[in-house]
Amino acid sequence: MKKLMTGDEAAARGAYEAGISYAAAYPGTPSTEILENIALYTEDIIAEWAPNEKVALEAAIGASIAGARALASMKHVGVNVAADPLFTFGYTGVNGGMVLISTDDPGMHSSQNEQDNRYYAKFAKVAMLEPSNSQESKDMVKAAMEISEGFDTMVLMRMTTRVCHSKTLVELGEKSEAVKKPYVKNLQKFDAVPAVCRKLHVALEQKLIDLEKFSNETELNYTEWNSKDIGIVTAGIAYQYAKEVYGEKASYLKLGFTYPLPVDKIRSFASQVKYLYVIEELEPYMEEQIKAAGIPCIGKDVVPRTGELNPDILAKALLGVEREVIRYDDSVVVPRPPVLCAGCPHRGFFYELSKRKDIMITGDIGCYGLGGMDPLYAKDTCICMGASISMGHGAQQVFNRFNEKMRAVAVIGDSTFFHTGMNSLLNTVYNRSNSITCILDNRITGMTGHQENPGTGFTLQGLPAKIVEIEPLVRALGIDLVKTVNPLRLDELKAAFDWAMEQTEPTVIITRWPCVLKKHSEHDMKEFGDYKSLCEVDTDVCIGCRLCTKPGCPALAFDNESKKASIDKIQCIGCQVCAQVCPKKAIRKAGN
């Protein structure tokens, strides 16, 4: 029977069918659901959230060397974090089959850049597969195991947002009983010291020659013959778009195995068509190698290299064709940017922080990135996971050296702190700056959709875990000045900022309140209780000053005609941040 599955779900199914027994990841859109779905195979696969991608990949490498088939998944920028083990594991090769799934995000639906991770395969010298739909996402995880064990290489499977998050039909298969290989101590293979790696590098170059031969022969790279006027070399989701635009008016060399590229197969295909097009999303990864092999082709000179590709862009770029659309005045359409939810515990924090002058707010990756938007504007920078704390330190050192009265305030979430913020805070302590670090602990990994982390008390597969408390952790790292506050209390926040601004040593402010969307654990119920209620506006008391709109809550509206505020009963959860902002006490808990 065929089942409609996302690429992520299908890749998870592939892990099950391929007999993978260990999988690790750090959540990140669009990769998150791969491990979430693998975790459902509780009897067959050990599935674990790691605190970051480097740890996830290393844990999976350990599982592979121990003899099991293993998988690690992460978003494209996560591979940057995991790049260190990736490159050397490329040298050593595997014991049990090993696949690393990188999910790239062309168009930056939910990311800070749109790097093309296909270059990682070439750079780290590991084999690469690129699925173009859910069926291939499943099947290629299985193929990855055969290739990995057959050629003694890790396989990078590169997916993209549209493949990860589109549902397409999948024919399910049976689970193959992969036998765990024995662990054998082998220093000449797995002890990456210079003397060993000099030999491994030489062997690796031969491995790549063997893999290129495989690439030329495998059915993962296949030809579809139609008209021979135009021949299209394509891979991944771009194949689907090319088919959408050209249908049977062109022939295709559809590549599923894209490192090493099947250069002979491409050359033969090119020799049989009048014009050769290379259609790929983002960078000219294939085009560069095809041109370097002396094969003329048309690619990025017409197909854009920025943003997400789609059939419309291709049709316009290659055929000059545009579909007829309805013309209308869209200037009246008001933007609808994502916002912090009604009752989000970050709102009060950013509202209080936004009132401070002479500060540089170094932000990080998570929902709290929205603190930089209108009307809060409480953010100056965002670079990557964990960077808030290290950048805050560097900035503070410079402000102090040049006698500027600026203070650096780093803002980071609980999961991001565990990810890479901890090392950064150690740096702040060690190198003695007085930057202010704010850890917004909402008791969950929020943005990616509520994944457990070392602070929540549960593992991915629902087992109870030790709760790592942030305050003692921060003290253990060497921070003496720590305050934990309730972010729904603006007076507590203000007092904490006043206190921190005065210090000559590094300070940490921890805000501790659960994400408004979080399903409370028993521990949460004990600590925070059933706090949800409702606020309302007394319109007789409201003077129309609009101050309550400053925190930017989507449950609160200001009517320009009546000059009164009102609160949406469905969205409001009674956090009372607006009530504390109102100078006339016109907002109060309903029923009071």
Partner 1 sequence: MADVKNILLVGVGGQGTILASQILSTGLVSAGYDVKMSEVHGMAQRGGSVTTQVRFGKQVHAPIIGKGQADVLVSFEIMETLRWLEFLKPDGKVVINNHKIPSVPILSGKREYPRGVIETISRKVDATVIDAGRIAEELGNPKTMNVILLGALVKAMGLTELEWRAAIKECVKPKFVEINLEAFKAGLSV
**Binding stretches for partner 1 (CB under 8 A):** 2, 4, 29-30, 109-110, 133, 162, 165-169, 237, 240-241, 243-244, 247, 310-312, 323-326, 328, 330, 332-341, 367, 369-370, 374-375, 447-449, 546, 549, 552, 554, 556-560
Q: Are 537 and 564 in contact (CB under 8 A)?
A: yes
Strand partners, 275: 230
Strand partners, 445: 451
Q: Please report which helix (H) or strand (E) contains residue 301, including its range.
A: none
Query: In angstroms, what CA-CA distances link 99 with 89, 102, 124, 132, 573?
Result: 12, 10, 14, 17, 44
Task: Report the residue number, 29 or 153, with the smaller CB distance to partner 1.
Answer: 29
| Pairwise CA distance, residues 142 & 586, whole Å | 62
Give the shortest CB-36-to-partner 1 separation in angstroms.
12
Query: Under a CB-based contact definition with an 8 Å cutoff, are residues 574 and 534 in contact?
Result: yes
Q: Please, what is the minimum distance in Å from the beta carbon of residue 331 to partner 1?
A: 9
| CB of 33 vs partner 1, minimal distance in Å | 8
Closest approach of Cβ 197 to partner 1, in Å? Answer: 39
Task: Give burial (CB, 10 Å; 0-12/13-18/19+) of 548.
Answer: buried
Question: Whole-number minimum distance, CB 337 to partner 1, in Å?
Answer: 6
Contact between 322 and 312 (Cβ < 8 Å):
yes
**Nearer to partner 1 among residue 187 and residue 570 (C-beta):** 570
Find where tokens 């408004």 sit: 516
- Minimum gap (Å) between residue 552 Cβ and partner 1: 6
**Cβ 304 to partner 1 shortest distance, Å:** 15
Of the pair 435, 448, the CB lying nearest partner 1 is at: 448
Compute the distance between CA of residue 422 and CA of residue 3 in angstroms, rounded to an integer.
Answer: 43
Name which of 392 and 552 has its Cβ closer to partner 1: 552
| Start-end of H helices in 194-284 | 194-217, 237-246, 263-272
Rounded to a whole number of angstroms, the minimum distance from the CB of residue 141 to partner 1 is 20
d(CA 246, CA 52): 42
Distance in angstroms (rounded) separating the CA atoms of residues 488 and 509: 14
Residue 194 CB, shortest distance to partner 1, in Å, is 42
C-alpha neighbours within 13 Å on the C-beta side of residue 570: 0
Residue 30 vs 455, nearer CB to partner 1: 30
- What is the closest distance, in whole angstroms, from the C-beta atom of residue 137 to partner 1 in the complex? 13
For residue 462, the minimal CB distance to partner 1 (Å) is 20
Q: Which is nearer to partner 1, 243 or 407 (CB)?
A: 243
Q: Residue 396: CA atoms inside 13 Å, Cβ hemisphere, count? A: 29
Bridge partners of 515?
A: none
Signed CA dihedral, 290, 292, 296, 298: sign only? positive
Angle subtended by helix axes 53-66 and 83-92, to nearest 10: 20
- Identity of the residue, 181 or 450, whose beta carbon is nearer to partner 1 in the bound complex: 450
Nearer to partner 1, 262 or 446 (CB): 446
Please report how close the Cβ of residue 222 comes to partner 1 at its closest, in angstroms.
16
Beta carbon nearer to partner 1, 127 or 548: 548
Residue whose entry in the numeric block shows the structure tokens 């778009």: 241
Task: Tell me if 208 sits within 8 A of 260, measured CB to CB.
Answer: yes
Cβ distance to partner 1 smaller for residue 169 or 203: 169
State how far the Cα of 448 lies from the Cα of 465, in Å rounded to an integer.
21
Q: Are 255 and 233 in contact (CB under 8 A)?
A: yes
Q: Which CB sits closer to partner 1, 8 or 149?
A: 8
C-alpha dihedral, 40 to 44 to 49 to 54, nearest 10°: -140
Nearest distance from C-beta of residue 374 to partner 1, angstroms = 7
Nearest to partner 1 of 169, 202 (CB atom): 169
Tell me how crowded residue 504 is: count the other CB atoms within 10 A of its CB.
Answer: 10
Whether the Cβ atoms of residue 588 and residue 552 lie closer than 8 Å to each other: no
262 burial via Cβ count (<10 Å: 0-12, 13-18, 19+) = buried
Nearest distance from C-beta of residue 96 to partner 1, angstroms:
31
Is the bond preceding residue 472 a cis peptide, omega within 30 degrees? no
Count the residues in the chain.
592
Q: By C-beta, is 123 or 377 nearer to partner 1? A: 377
Nearer of residues 133 and 437 to partner 1, judged by Cβ: 133
Among residues 310, 338, 318, the alpha carbon closest in space to that of 244 is found at: 310
Give the closest residue to 544 by CA, choosing from 589, 592, 583. 583
